[in-house]
Amino acid sequence: MKGRVILTAGEMRAAEARSIAAGTSVETLMERAGQAAAAAIRRFAGPMPALVLCGPGNNGGDGYVVARALAAAGQDVRVAATGEPKTAAASAARAAWGREVHALADVEPAPLLIDSLFGTGLTRGLLRDAAAELEALAGMARITAAIDLPSGISTDDGAILSPVPDCDLTVTFQTLKPAHLLQPAARHMGRIVVADIGIEAASDLHEIARPRLAAPGPESHKFTRGLVTVIAGGMAGAGALSAGAALRAGAGAVRLQAREPVHGVAAAIIQTPGDPLDRIDDKRIGALLLGPGLAPDDEGRALFEAAAGSGHPLVLDAGALRILADGAALPAAGPTAILTPHEGEFAALFGEDGGSKVERARAAAAKVGAVIVYKGPDTVVAAPDGRAAIHAATAHWLATAGAGDVLAGTIAAMRAAGMAAFEAACAGIWLHGRAAALAGPFLIADDLIAHLPAACAECL
Ligand SMILES: NC(=O)C1=CN([C@@H]2O[C@H](COP(=O)(O)OP(=O)(O)OC[C@H]3O[C@@H](n4cnc5c(N)ncnc54)[C@H](OP(=O)(O)O)[C@@H]3O)[C@@H](O)[C@H]2O)[C@H](O)CC1
Ligand SMILES: [K+]
């Protein structure tokens, strides 16, 4: 299932321009935006006294519409502005408000603060006085709501340009923007409402949504459900987590191939201790996972080369990524591989420069011709063809030992079940996040595995 569309500031401006060219005026769009935001704020906060802060651009224009709509609904509303509007639409909205506009510097606080200072047009941090006023007024409010984005955030990469209030609600228009999901901005959003204002918007960037999984049917057998082979490294516990995750995420059969027997894993996991490359030429292997517990030594490199030459769909994590960063090569042809680097592994592989996390993931995917799962509190997936997706992480307690091994195993299960690489990565990330939400804040990686079946069951 495709998740909600995400547009950058430039793409949103282009979509808006197309809509205007097709006959919908910017004033109409602003009216729709402001009315929708006011309705969402009333649903969220009820009729408490409100203060709307309006900036100079069209974000400020939306704010004047919000103020008028709340006042029309009988709410006690005041407006404060940084100065005169700079656009014709915002001027018209201010005129239609028709009541007093206070100076931001000396306005009294209100229990409901509505931040309509800056949205997608912000190009630099707020001036120190404006940022301080915003922070102080938000600190004195019971509820803070942002129009489009909390002010001080860079739309496309989620950077914080000046101090940003912690909002309880953010109402954005037509589509999400990258900053709604990318950190460090995403933590300031509160609940996000996407209001339809009638603009046509399409993108190759989406939010990761709940996948659709098929329940096993009468024709299913273990190999149609997918055979995952996990080549365990020297620290076989990591491979055991991956294998357990693959099994609980629905793989029909999982082989855990280590030099020594691995104790304490599910009896259903097939073990043939000895040669980790045992039966690597089995044509039925649907995903070959290498990296968890793997050291970047001679044996690790030999296993990497064998895996890369096997022709199976690969999922490469941890030690396999270090071997890749040290100069090993991905297969030049064959099924699209999936790489699952965290921040440090990504930097070692691809460097630290290159724009937003989405742009960096896209460039990396294009460079190596593989699907990149760039992990973190805001995991981004990118495919070599330019498609990308962001996961709106809510379960931050995934930052625990072994969680990455579980993710790699979950993705391998999706791949072995027949999903294409990009879809398998997105599905695995969603299931992993959902399992974390179900397991709760004090989970250990093993608990994630235990909650994968319930997460999968939500996708049938
Ligand atoms: N996209 C749509 O379809 C719709 C969007 N709406 C709303 O419009 C805003 C975007 O409006 P825009 O006017 O482009 O941008 P902003 O209102 O966010 O701000 C731009 C103005 O602010 C100035 N600016 C930028 N940074 C700062 C700063 N740090 N301090 C002071 N001033 C700043 C900028 O001028 P500069 O030339 O000085 O850069 C602009 O004057 C979008 O977010 C939606 O809320 C529509 O209403 C509905 C359709
Ligand atoms: K805003």
Token readout for 410 is 């979950």
- Return the ligand number nearest the Cα of 165: 2
- Rounded alpha-carbon distances, angstroms, from residue 383 to 32, 33, 320, 373: 35, 33, 19, 9
Task: Tell me whether residue 103 is exposed, middle or buried, using C-beta atoms within 10 angstroms of its C-beta: 0 to 12, 13 to 18, 19 or more.
Answer: exposed
CB 68 within 8 A of CB 97: yes
Q: Is 62 annotated as a binding residue?
A: yes
DSSP state string for 104-125: GGGPPP-SEEEEES-STT--SP
Choosing from 7, 68, 122 the residue with most ligand 1 atoms within 8 A of its CB, the one to mutate for a pocket test is: 122
d(CA 457, CA 249): 10
Contacts of 332 (CB under 8 A, 6+ apart): none
d(CA 195, CA 198): 9
Element holding 43 (H helix, E strand): helix 26-45
Q: What is the pLDDT of residue 264?
A: 87
Encode pLDDT of 354-372 as tens digits: 899 999 999 999 999 999 9
Token readout for 204 is 């190759």
Residue whose Cα lies nearest atom 26 of ligand 1: it is: 122
Residues of the chain predicted below pLDDT 50: none
CB atoms within 10 A of CB 277: 15
Residue whose Cα lies nearest atom 31 of ligand 1: it is: 126
Which atom of ligand 1 is the closest one to the Cα of 82?
31
Which atom of ligand 1 is the closest one to the Cα of 87?
13
d(CA 62, CA 449): 46
Q: What is the pLDDT of residue 223?
A: 79
Residue whose Cα lies nearest atom 28 of ligand 1: it is: 126
Q: What is the pLDDT of residue 112?
A: 98
d(CA 96, CA 88): 12
Contacts of 313 (CB under 8 A, 6+ apart): 286, 287, 288, 335, 336, 337, 338, 415, 416, 421
CA of 140 to the centre of ligand 2 (A): 18
Encode pLDDT of 133-185 as tens digits: 999 999 999 999 999 999 999 999 999 999 999 999 999 999 999 999 999 99
Residues whose beta carbon lies within 6 Å of some atom of ligand 1: 12, 16, 29-30, 33, 55-62, 86-87, 118-127, 147-148, 173, 199
Choosing from 6, 53, 123 the residue with most ligand 1 atoms within 8 A of its CB, the one to mutate for a pocket test is: 123
Element holding 292 (H helix, E strand): none
Element holding 456 (H helix, E strand): helix 445-457
Token readout for 4 is 């909600």
* Positive or negative torsion for Cα 105, 110, 115, 116: negative
Which atom of ligand 1 is the closest one to the Cα of 60?
17
pTM reported for the whole predicted model: 0.96
CA of 58 to the centre of ligand 1 (A): 5
Q: What is the pLDDT of residue 446?
A: 95
Residue 324, helix vs strand vs coil: helix
List helix spans (H) across 161-308.
178-181, 222-225, 236-248, 298-308
Contacts of 88 (CB under 8 A, 6+ apart): none
d(CA 343, CA 346): 5
Q: What is the pLDDT of residue 100?
A: 97
Which atom of ligand 1 is the closest one to the Cα of 147?
45
Helices 26-45 + 88-97 axis angle, to 10: 50
Residue 4, helix vs strand vs coil: strand
Q: What is the pLDDT of residue 221?
A: 80
ipTM above 0.85, yes or no: yes
**Hey, what domains does the chain have and what are their CATH numbers?**
2-203 (3.40.50.10260), 222-457 (3.40.1190.20)
d(CA 236, CA 232): 5
CA of 361 to the centre of ligand 1 (A): 28
Helices 403-416 + 421-439 axis angle, to 10: 130
Q: List residues bridging with 160 in a β-sheet.
A: 153
Q: What is the DSSP letter of 230?
A: E
The candidate with the shortest Cα–Cα distance to 264, out of 449, 401, 398, is 449
The amino acid at residue 13 is R
